A and B are shown apart, each in its own frame.
Chain A
Amino acid sequence: MKITVRLFAFFREGRFIEEMKEYPDETTVAEVIDDLKIDINAVGVTMISSRHCNFDTKLKDGDQLGIFPMIGGG
C-alpha cells in the first residue's frame, strides 16, 4: 500500500520532508518509525490524515502519516 509520510522539525535532518512510501498491508505506525530509523522514544505526536493516532495503529492505503518529535511553544 502507498503511504505519504511527512516529517517535521529535526526528524527531517538526513531524511526528507515528505515522501510517498510503499509498505505491506497492516503496517503499523511504529513499524514506519522503525523503518525510518527514528528513535520512537523521541516521537511526541503522530497523526494520520490530521487525527492523532497511536504507535500500534494500522495504516491503510492512501493514509497521510505525520511524525513529530516532542515539541511545544505558544
Chain B
Amino acid sequence: MSDKIFRVNMSTLTTSIEEVPADWAGHGGRGLTSTIVAAEVPPTCHPLGPNNKLVIAPGLLSGTPAANSGRMSFGAKSPLTGTIKESNSGGTAAQLLARCGCKALILEGQPTDDKWYSLALSPEGVTITAETELIGKGNFDVVATVAARGADKLGVITIGSAGEMKMAAANISVKDPDGHLRSAGRGGLGAVMGSKQVKFITIDPKDRKVSIADPEKFKAANKVFAKALVDNPISQGLGQYGTNVLVNIINESGGLPTRNFTAGQFAGHDKISGETMYDKIMERGGKPKHGCHPGCVIQCSQIYNDINKGYKTSGFEYESIWAMGADCCVDDLDHIAEADSLMDDIGIDTIETSVAMGVAMEGGLLPFGDGAGICRILKDEVGKGTGLGRIIGGGAGAVGKAFGVSRVPVVKNQAIPAYDPRSIKGMGITYATSTMGADHTMGYSVATNILKVGGSVDPLSKEGQVELSRNLQIATAAIDSTGMCLFIAFAALDDTTCLPALIDMLNARFGIALTGDDVVNLGKHILKTEKAFNEAAGFTKADDRLPEFFEYEPLPPHNVVWDFAGEEIDSFWNF
C-alpha cells in the first residue's frame, strides 16, 4: 500500500484519506510541509484563523531501520514570524506516523464553538473525539493520562496550556521512547494546533510496517551510514556531554550572548557547561546518554536528576541552557533545569521564552541572575496565562514592545539563539536570510566558523560567510526532508562515505535513482518555495536584516559589530 495524505477538517469535524498528488510524491519532512503550506495556505491569512493549516509530516526515511531517522516536521504559517514555518522534533511519532502509511497529516479549518478535541490516527484513518478532562492541563499530564487510558505504546503529539492560550511562543511536544518530551519548539506552531482546538493526537500503527523497495541494498547502505555516524569523533562528545558541550567553546570564542546580548562571554560559563552537567548527572544517578527516538546512534539527550536524585528533565539542550543561563546571567544549572521542565510542561519554546526573559530583565522585571524569579514567573504568570504571562509568551519581540526595550534580539520577530552574529558572522547571515526568522538550525555556520568542521572560515571576517551559509541552508533543507537528525551533518561534512550512503538508502526505500545533484536541487527548490510564500505574505529584503543595535554596539571581548551591507546579505539568494 502506498503512502497517503490524511486530512482532518476541524470546521466540519470530518476526515479523509487521499492519494498523494504527483507534485508532492518526492517530498517528505520539511520539503513536504513547506510544499503543502505553499500550495494550500493563503500567504496573507491570519496564522490563528480558519485558513491556516497545520501540516505534520515524517521524513522520507522515517519508519525504516535507518539510523537517526526519527525526526518529524511540523509546518504552517507562523503566528510568531508571519512567515512559512517548519519546526522539527524527535520523539517516536515520526516513525509511528510513517508506519501508519501517512505521508502527511493536514489539520485545517477550526471549530466555531469552544469545544476541544483529540485525534486518534491509525492506518485506517483518523477519529475525532471530544476532550474535556485534559483541557487546561500540562503536557506531562497529557502523556500520563493517555497512557493510563491504555494507550501507553502509542505515539503522542500534544500541546500544553501555552498552545491552548495561543501564545506566539507555544510549541508542539512529542512523546519520546521513555514517556518524556521532545519539542518542535520554534515559531509558535503550538498556537496553530491550539487554534484548531486539538489538544493531542495519538498514533497507532498497529502491525503495519514501512515497505522498502530493495531491502538488501537498504540494509547495506544503512550499515555504512550508521558506521559513519558512530565513528565520527563528534558523536563521542555528544553522547557524553550532550549538545551542552558547546557552552565552553562558544564562550571561549567570544560568541556566547550574555546579559541580553551585551557581552560575548559569561563569567559563570563553566557552572552551566556540558562538563559540569555531566558531573551532576553522574553524581545523581542520571543518564548522560539517551536517544530521543529508537535507532539513534548518537544519543545526545540525557536524564538529568535533581539534587534528591529524582527525575527533573531530559533533552536538556545547549540553546535552552544558554538562553536561561548566559543570556539571563543565571549560573545555577538546577534553576535552569527547573525552568526547562516548567517550559516543557507549559509547552512553550525554551529559546523564545528565555530570550524574552532576558529582554524583560533589561526592562526591569527581574534582576539579571534571578533564576528562582524566572521559575516563579513561568509557573505563576506564563503557565496561568496572566497578562504578564501572555506578554512573555508572546516572545522576545512582544516583551521588547511592552517594556520599551530597544535591544531586542529578533529577526522576523523570532528570537536569535545562542551564537552572537557579531563574532560568529556566518550565523548572522543565516539569521538574516533564513525563511523562518532567526534559527541556528537552518544553516549551522558555527560548524565551520568555530568547530572547524567542513573546513574553516574565520568567524570574525565577512569573507566566505554568505557562500558558507548558502551551502549549509541548501543542504539542511534537503536533510530536513529525509527525517534525519541534523547531527548527521557533522559526519556528512567530513566523512565521504556518509552522504552517498544516505542517498543509497533513499533510492533503496523508494526504488528510485537520485544523485547528489538531485539532493542539492531539492534543497534549493525548498528554499525558493519558502521564500516565494514569504514574499506573497508581504516580506521583502528589508526584512532580511539583523536588529540595528548589532551595528552600533561593539561586542566584547573582540569589540566587533555587525558590518554586512544589505546588498551583501541579499547576494545569499544568487542561486
Contact = CB atoms under 8 A, between A and B. Distances in A.
A71 B252 contact: no
A47 B558 CA distance: 14
B451 A10 contact: no
B527 to A, nearest CB: 19
B234 interface: yes
A73 B233 contact: no
B539 interface: no
Given A66-B252, A71-B246, A9 B557 contact: no
Nearest to B419: A74
B403 interface: no
A62 interface: no
A51 B441 CA distance: 24
Residue among A17, A66, A70 having the largest count of chain B Cβ atoms under 10 Å: A70
Interface string B108-147: 0000000000000000000000000000000000000000
B275 A73 contact: no
Interface residues of A, number: 21
Contacts of B253: 47, 50, 52
Q: What secondary structure prevails in chain B residues at the interface with A?
A: helix
Interface string A21-58: 00000000000000000000010110100111000000
A42 to B, nearest CB: 7
B233 A44 contact: yes
A40 to B, nearest CB: 13
Nearest to A10: B240
B550 interface: no
Given A9-B275, A73-B238, A45 B450 contact: yes
Contacts of A42: 233
A71 B237 contact: yes
B451 A44 contact: yes
A72 B447 CA distance: 7
Nearest to B233: A70
B446 interface: yes
A73 B453 contact: no
A15 to B, nearest CB: 12
B559 to A, nearest CB: 11
Contact of B248 (A8, A51, A72): A8
B161 to A, nearest CB: 29
A60 interface: no
Nearest to B494: A70
Interface string A1-12: 000001011101
Contacts of A68: 248-249, 252
Given A9-B274, A47-B253, A72 B318 contact: no
Please provide the 3 A-B residue pairs with the shortest distance between their CB atoms, ordered closest to farther.
A73-B243, A72-B234, A71-B237
